[in-house]
């Protein structure tokens, strides 16, 4: 899966072929078709795979007995660590999934392919609101604000335009996210 994520991220969806992926995996093209009936099916599986990695990280954080503020800081740090350690995961989301929505129409409508991750963000926001750490707010603006910050910095890091290491921005980004969500009486 990592090979296909890398190739899709580097070459784009339409410029990556099943033979390219099969070669990177050191298997025959015919064998690839034993696992995936088409490049589109592989692309859909890849988005599920990549977002489930992030969902598992956030699920682990959500289960910790710490404040919602600490969860936000830890989530941002782990997200940025993932960007650094496996840039193809986030690059795939930014450069393939968001840019080629037509590929994902059948079977990935709405949040179908990214549902586990979205659910974990929902849990983070809901628990924070229940504990009066976050204010009650509509999910979509809160989700977009969190992921816009994280995705924006992942993109800037991938483009090598940041003047510091990505992880050095972690606390500042987490602080901005927390201040945008926090409950105020």
Instruction: Please give the distance of CA 173 from its chain centroid, rounded to a whole number.
Output: 16
pLDDT tens for residues 27-39?
Answer: 999 998 998 998 9
Cα angle: 7, vertex 173, 164; to 5 degrees:
65
Q: Name the residue with tokens 């999910």.
A: 139
Cα–Cα distance, 121 to 140 (Å, whole number): 11
- The answer to whether residue 185 scores a pLDDT higher than 80 is no
pTM flag (> 0.85): yes
Instruction: Give the whole-number percent of the chain exceeding pLDDT 90.
Output: 62
Predicted local confidence at residue 110, as pLDDT:
81
Cα–Cα distance, 31 to 132 (Å, whole number): 53
């Amino acid at each position: 899966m990592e090979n296909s994520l890398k190739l899709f991220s580097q070459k784009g969806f339409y410029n990556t072929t099943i033979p390219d992926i099969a070669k990177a995996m050191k298997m025959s093209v015919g064998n690839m078709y034993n696992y995936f009936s088409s490049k589109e099916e592989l692309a859909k599986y890849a988005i599920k795979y990549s977002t489930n990695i992030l969902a598992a990280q956030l699920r682990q954080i959500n289960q910790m007995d710490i404040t919602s503020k600490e969860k936000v800081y830890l989530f941002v740090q782990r997200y940025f660590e993932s960007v650094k350690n496996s840039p193809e995961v986030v690059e795939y989301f930014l450069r393939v999934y968001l840019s080629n929505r037509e590929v994902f129409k059948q079977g990935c409508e709405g949040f179908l392919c990214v549902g586990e991750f979205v659910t974990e963000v929902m849990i983070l926001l809901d628990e924070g609101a229940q504990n009066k750490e976050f204010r009650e707010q509509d999910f979509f603006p809160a989700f977009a604000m969190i992921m816009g910050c994280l995705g924006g910095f992942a993109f800037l890091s991938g483009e090598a335009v940041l003047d510091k290491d990505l992880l050095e921005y972690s606390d500042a980004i987490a602080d901005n996210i927390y201040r945008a969500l926090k409950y105020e009486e």
